[in-house]
Amino acid sequence: MAPMLERYVSPGKGNGLRATAKIRRGVLVTSAEPVAYCVSNKRAREVCHHCFTRCETLLRCSQCKMARYCNSACQKRAWPGHKKECRCLCSLLPRHPTDSVRLAARLIFTLLNPLQSSKEELYSIDEHESHLDSMPEQKKEGLSELATMLELYMKTEIPDLKQRMTSELPLSCREALSIIAKVTCNCFTISDGELQEIGVGLYPSLSLLNHDCRPNCVMVFNGTELQLRAVQDINPGEELRISYIETLSLTEDRQKQLEEQYHFTCHCQRCSSKEQDGVMLSGREAAWRQLKEALPRLEGLQLESNWLELLESCSNLLTSAGEEVPDENLYKLKITDMALDASVHLGRWEEALSFGLKTLPSYRLYYADPHPVHGVQLMRVGKLQHHLGCIEDALESFKEAFKILKLTHGEDHPLIVDLMMKMEECRSEIDLQQPSN
């Protein structure tokens, strides 16, 4: 493990990671490759299953017809890890396993192949919590179904799966159910630079990171590599913390999500003080309540990609009840963001830009520390301004995005390289506009 951090027992939280030296914000604390990973089913047609690059045309595995690669080099490199999985996928056709079943199977293949997996990884997976004892029955039943699916999926490849797991794996990893529970509690969502989900992966050494609703570190991915960066200055001995969930939500909702998904009660400073809850609920309750109650239906439209109806509904709400609610109200912000999303999909750029601009002061307010979400939003707005010919505004937005993203993504990240190119384009377009006398 990198020398900037070490394992320790965090008071009241079990294992944790802490800084061994002073870490300035923006510094890459550590990076890690996953012991097992896979592309999400919903992205399976768009990204390379090996390097996670988004590609217009992908080569398809001729056998399972599911795995796709940007070129034969990626396919070749993926084969040792895909070979066994490929036969499992074929055996289940036309059905596809869920993401967690695929990931769990990949983990089991790795664990059963001691050449590939290091002792340290084996040890940490053994230590991963499964939370099976504290889990509500209903959730446990759901996991049991996944475990049955996992056994069925792996049957053709490893007919004596149960015996092999019992004789070769650490005590806590010997049952399909406990593996599935560990995987669902400890996997990380792998996203691209613009924070779109691409897949799931297991990074055992970083599963030790505890949660905070105002974290001092963020995780960003470059391909499948996880990079942990400081977003605050951190003192030696201080615990390194990330947020397991979207931080832009009310204390009550964050706590509920953490309890349901991660089985603990958050006692962080932000939860104790409930700071920001008041601002997030600003405005007259009867007005914002209408926005809040409309959200589930709007989220449904978004999921169905029904952009036209989504944009109409959002616009109507924003001009009726939304009119008297301040922009920083959480529900208004969510609806404005959905309207932005819908108008981008519909190619209605002017509308998109006006929605985007409305969100920025709230993003600035709620993301006090550098945060990828804030940087990406600024970049989105900058692209719209650029597209609409507002070059100087675009350059300003890109510069502001750069200040944040160079801290959260690092200067070598493809997203930053892209952003720097955009800034260069703006500068040369501005130069061209200047009268040449």
Stretch that binds Zn ion, among 65-73, 151-159, 389-397, 409-417 (CB under 5 A): 65-73
Taking the complex as a whole, the smallest distance from the CB of residue 50 to Zn ion amounts, in Å, to 5
Amino acid at 375: G
- By CB under 5 A, tell whether 44 contacts Zn ion: no
Stretch that binds Zn ion, among 79-87, 284-292, 315-323, 329-337 (CB under 5 A): 79-87
396 token code pair? 């300003």
Closer of 78 and 395 to Zn ion (Cβ): 78
- By CB under 5 A, tell whether 74 contacts Zn ion: yes
- In whole angstroms, give the CA distance from residue 425 to residue 387: 12
Q: What DSSP string describes 382-431?
A: HHHHHHTT-HHHHHHHHHHHHHHHHHHT-TTSHHHHHHHHHHHHHHHHHH
Closer of 172 and 257 to Zn ion (Cβ): 257
Closer of 128 and 254 to Zn ion (Cβ): 254
Can you state the angle between helices 99-111 and 161-168, rounded to 10 degrees? Answer: 60
- By CB under 5 A, tell whether 67 contacts Zn ion: yes
Task: Tell me which of 10, 20, 63, 354 binds Zn ion, using CB under 5 A.
Answer: 63
DSSP 3-state assignment of 275? coil
- By CB under 5 A, tell whether 48 contacts Zn ion: yes
Check: CB of residue 332 under 8 Å from CB of residue 295: no
Task: Tell me which of 4, 27, 39, 70 binds Zn ion, using CB under 5 A.
Answer: 70
Taking the complex as a whole, the smallest distance from the CB of residue 86 to Zn ion amounts, in Å, to 3
Size of the site for Zn ion (CB under 5 A): 14
Task: Tell me which of 6, 10, 46, 51 binds Zn ion, using CB under 5 A.
Answer: 51
Stretch that binds Zn ion, among 64-72, 200-208, 354-362, 364-372 (CB under 5 A): 64-72
Taking the complex as a whole, the smallest distance from the CB of residue 57 to Zn ion amounts, in Å, to 12
Can you state the angle between helices 137-154 and 72-92, rounded to 10 degrees? Answer: 110
Taking the complex as a whole, the smallest distance from the CB of residue 74 to Zn ion amounts, in Å, to 3
Of 281, 290, 194, 214, nearest to 254 (Cα)? 214
Check: CB of residue 75 under 8 Å from CB of residue 60: no
Residues 122-141 that bind Zn ion (CB under 5 A): none
Closer of 73 and 417 to Zn ion (Cβ): 73
Amino acid at 285: E
Task: Tell me which of 125, 181, 206, 268 binds Zn ion, using CB under 5 A.
Answer: 268
Stretch that binds Zn ion, among 36-44, 45-53, 323-331, 398-406 (CB under 5 A): 45-53
CA angle (290 as vertex; 285, 296 as ends), nearest 5: 125
86-105 footprint of Zn ion as x/- string (CB under 5 A): x-------------------
Closer of 101 and 266 to Zn ion (Cβ): 266
Closer of 206 and 213 to Zn ion (Cβ): 213
Cβ burial of 409 (10 Å; 0-12, 13-18, 19+) is buried
Taking the complex as a whole, the smallest distance from the CB of residue 363 to Zn ion amounts, in Å, to 20
110 token code pair? 């790795």
Taking the complex as a whole, the smallest distance from the CB of residue 26 to Zn ion amounts, in Å, to 24
DSSP 3-state assignment of 50? coil
Residues 212-231 that bind Zn ion (CB under 5 A): 213
Handedness of CA 375, 376, 381, 386 (dihedral sign): positive
Taking the complex as a whole, the smallest distance from the CB of residue 103 to Zn ion amounts, in Å, to 16
- In whole angstroms, give the CA distance from residue 401 to residue 419: 8
Task: Tell me which of 27, 64, 154, 291 binds Zn ion, using CB under 5 A.
Answer: 64
- By CB under 5 A, tell whether 61 contacts Zn ion: yes
Task: Tell me which of 92, 271, 291, 330 binds Zn ion, using CB under 5 A.
Answer: 271
Q: What is the helix (H) or strand (E) element at residue 220, kind and residue range? A: strand 217-222
431 token code pair? 């130069």
DSSP 3-state assignment of 350? helix
Of 47, 35, 34, 30, nearest to 410 (Cα)? 30
Closer of 5 and 67 to Zn ion (Cβ): 67
Q: What is the helix (H) or strand (E) element at residue 39, kind and residue range? A: strand 36-39
Beta bridge partners of 191: 197
Task: Tell me which of 92, 190, 240, 266 binds Zn ion, using CB under 5 A.
Answer: 266
* Interface residues toward Zn ion, by CB under 5 A: 48, 50-51, 61, 63-64, 67, 70, 74, 86, 213, 266, 268, 271
